[in-house]
């Protein structure tokens, strides 16, 4: 069951933006464009943007469903200045959503699905109600057909991934919270999520629940708490990854050489001798197989690091010292996923992000070093030395996040004051 924290139960269910003709700072790029289109009365172009990006509609948490066709969307009765009472349904773009509410959630819906699920009694669809980028649409069969056609033409979920998305408003100030958010930048880039918001809705409530269940076997609050803690303590990744990397660091310290000049044979022998010294061996055959795997892991790391240098992820004299980044980077997103699924309170999410920040700053000296370690962890987990999409996609994210002017790694200092 969801535990409501003291910061969670609030009255900000629907966004309301005070705007009296003065300057308005849109929360993100999409809303900035929609505002300009409203000013010039470009309804069709506005709809084309909605078709590409999708929308969110509110639902009582106990009545929602992963299947849009099974939802009964929230509607209300509004009496206009002409004295006519109309049935209205409200939808919002991602940047306009308020902080998560314990009892009302927002579900993602495409414009095509919206054409099917808007109840027949609805007269008016209001997009971004009570904001400077509000649009009113009269709902009839012809309008629904336009939505369905635009969806068919324009919606491509892949086009919304592998991109940097930054919120212009509402982000925390520079400090551990913002730094902790920046530590999840790899996954935010891959999923096309805004990296710097604490008001997390992700791809909608049901999708956040499904994501945690399908990818993490997390189906409730207690499982989320346990998984979040294991990620923060770097206990999700296999212990022997850092054990092997630590053996190289020990050789560097013992022999006074650079990390890149450690002899591979000596490194393998050190791994094996240390294992034989510290591990109890109940089954010699199984242990011998494990030792052989650890000796092979040395070669795997060396080949990945060589590729990283060729691709600009590591400098000529640099190595990966620890893959803690793989767990800590995912812990940054796990905090937000838990919030979106209503398994985490706002305070628990914030605490996890602060702990991520501290762990990353203790383990690394720069965003580039953190990122290379994250990439190695991802490759060891998924890639199996194929150097396929598991590697190339995160390599793209690494370079984009280090180079793009608005990237978290260009705007958030790695070392915090104090």
Strands 55-60 and 75-79: unpaired
Q: Specify the pLDDT at position 15.
A: 82
The pLDDT of residue 3: 62
Amino acid 256: pLDDT: 84
Q: How far is CA 227 from CA 10, 34, 219, in A?
A: 27, 39, 11
pLDDT at position 257: 81
The partner residues of 136 in beta bridges, in order of sequence, read 126
Q: What is the pLDDT of residue 278?
A: 86
DSSP code at position 173:
P
Going by the DSSP 8-state scheme, the letter that residue 89 receives in this structure is E
Q: Residue 13 has what pLDDT?
A: 82
DSSP E strand boundaries for 193-251: none
Mutual angle of helices 284-310 and 239-255, in 10-degree steps: 70
3-state helix/strand/coil string of 20-88: CCCCCCCCCHHHHHHHHHHHCCCHHHHHHHHHHHCEEEEEEHHHCCCCHHHCCCCEEEEECCCCCEEEE
* Residue 59 pLDDT: 94
In order along the chain (418 residues), what is the average pLDDT of each group of 10 residues? Answer: 65 75 86 97 98 97 92 90 92 95 95 96 96 96 97 97 96 97 98 97 97 97 98 97 97 87 95 90 87 97 98 96 98 98 96 98 98 98 96 98 96 90
């Amino acid at each position: 069951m969801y535990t409501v924290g003291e910061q969670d139960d609030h009255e900000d269910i629907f966004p309301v933006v005070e705007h009296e003709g003065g300057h308005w700072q849109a929360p993100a790029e999409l809303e900035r464009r929609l505002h300009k289109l409203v000013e010039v009365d470009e309804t069709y172009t506005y709809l084309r943007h909605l078709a590409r990006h999708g929308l969110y509609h509110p639902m009582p948490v106990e009545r929602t469903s992963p299947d849009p066709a099974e939802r009964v969307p929230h509607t209300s009765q509004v009496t206009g200045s002409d004295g006519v009472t109309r049935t209205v349904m409200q939808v919002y773009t991602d940047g306009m959503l308020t902080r998560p509410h314990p009892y009302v959630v927002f579900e993602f819906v495409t414009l095509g699905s919206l054409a099917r699920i808007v109840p027949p009694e609805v007269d008016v669809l209001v997009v971004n109600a009570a904001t400077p980028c509000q649009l009113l649409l009269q709902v009839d069969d012809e309008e629904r057909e336009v939505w369905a056609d635009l969806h068919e033409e324009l919606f491509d979920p892949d086009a919304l991934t592998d991109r940097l998305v930054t919120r212009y408003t509402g982000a925390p100030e520079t400090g551990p919270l913002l730094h902790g958010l920046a530590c999840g930048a790899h996954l935010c880039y891959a999923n096309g999520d805004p990296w710097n918001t604490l008001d997390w809705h992700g791809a909608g409530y049901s999708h956040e629940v499904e994501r945690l269940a399908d990818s993490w076997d997390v189906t409730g609050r207690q499982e989320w708490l346990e998984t979040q803690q294991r990620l923060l303590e770097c206990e999700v990744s296999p212990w022997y990854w850092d054990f092997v990397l630590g053996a190289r660091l020990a050789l560097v310290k013992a022999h006074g050489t650079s990390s890149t000049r450690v002899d591979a044979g000596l490194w393998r022998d050190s791994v094996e001798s240390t294992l034989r010294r510290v591990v109890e061996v109940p089954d010699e055959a199984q242990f011998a197989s494990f030792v052989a795997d650890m000796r092979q892991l040395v070669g795997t790391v060396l080949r990945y690091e060589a590729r990283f240098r060729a691709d600009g992820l590591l400098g000529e004299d640099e190595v990966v010292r620890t893959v803690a980044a793989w767990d800590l980077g995912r812990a940054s997103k796990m905090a937000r996923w838990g919030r979106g699924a209503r398994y985490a309170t706002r305070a628990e999410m914030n605490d996890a992000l602060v702990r991520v920040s501290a762990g990353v700053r203790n383990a690394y000296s720069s965003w580039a070093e953190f990122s290379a370690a994250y990439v190695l962890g991802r490759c060891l987990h998924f890639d199996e030395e194929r150097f396929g999409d598991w590697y190339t996609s995160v390599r793209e994210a690494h370079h984009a996040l280090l180079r793009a002017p608005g990237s978290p790694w260009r705007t958030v200092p790695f070392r915090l004051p104090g």
